[in-house]
Amino acid sequence: MANQYYSTVSDVIKYTGIKYDNLGLSSEGEMETMIEGWLKQVTSLINRDRGRDLLTDLNFGEKKMVDQGVEKWDELIVEGITVKIETDKYEFPKYEDRMAVNLLEISSTVGNNVIIASKLIEEDYRDLSDAKVLMIKVKPYADCDKGDIQLLLSNEVACGNVIKTMDFPEMNDDEWKLCKFYLGTNSELNEIKSIGLKLVDEVGGYFWIADIQKLVLPEGIHNIAMRACSNMVKLAYANRESPVIRIEELDAKLVEDKILTTPLKAELRLYYRKPEFAFNRAEGI
């Protein structure tokens, strides 16, 4: 399930050291439910301040490497598939400093709907649950329609158990393309051991693969949300005779001064606000 808010209930509890009886509540679960609601409200405040939903805006985030693309993909013992390390710089994406990319040689004898290669992901990079988008640079040897080749995510090595299948977009022959796949911060993707390629239809005799990256919400946003929610916990503790505080019950000044404080807003300004206008090009007029 995709996250609906920034930070986590457990982080807020650890940061504040709050106990449910401090708030006049009857159980840990009741406190966790209340803090989760506050995190959603804090998320709304942050989104309003930045003019965008930071979870769903696919242009916002930090890029983190999943695989550098310099180690060879596995061939999966498919007859007619050969995987090589390409070191010819003229085959690399333009204007990028690289050591190598992967080259898949695909024989015309290879059938359709076959997993042709997989890449074992190192342990430190297997958690994709925080990824909004997965990005991979590829270059086909022929024009490809959407879905001619698919990207697979598996929780087993060599794509033994595929848990997510995504279509590559339309691609042009002999042109590098940065392909983006929406993941949506899905908690089920926390242990991806391998990424694979499935040939659905012909893509030509060669297929180049560069690096794989993920787009994630910056840690700074999580930290700001945690501290803003902690401010709500402090307000609740100060008003523990009536602990359930809702943002709509507070006046605007209290929200600004006590929850999303001036220092927190200053930190938020490090993450650019979405412009309120944009230039669009209309063709055929």
Taking the CA atoms of the chain, what radius of gyration do you get in angstroms?
Answer: 24
> Quick one: pLDDT at residue 272?
84
> Quick one: pLDDT at residue 274?
76
Question: What are the beta bridge partners of residue 177?
Answer: 138
d(CA 138, CA 133): 16
> Quick one: pLDDT at residue 249?
56
> Quick one: pLDDT at residue 237?
83
> Quick one: pLDDT at residue 280?
44
Q: Which domains does the chain have, with CATH numbers?
A: 9-57+219-268 (no CATH), 62-216 (2.60.120.260)
> Which tokens sit at 7?
């930070």
> Quick one: pLDDT at residue 256?
54
Phi and psi of 281, rounded to 5°? Answer: -100, 125
What pTM value is reported for the model? 0.81
d(CA 61, CA 221): 10
Q: Are 72 and 208 in contact (CB under 8 A)?
A: no
Q: Are 174 and 141 in contact (CB under 8 A)?
A: yes
> Quick one: pLDDT at residue 282?
40
> Quick one: pLDDT at residue 243?
44
Mean pLDDT per 10-residue interval, the chain, length 285 residues? 80 94 92 94 92 88 94 85 93 90 93 93 95 95 94 95 96 95 91 96 89 95 95 82 51 62 92 66 42
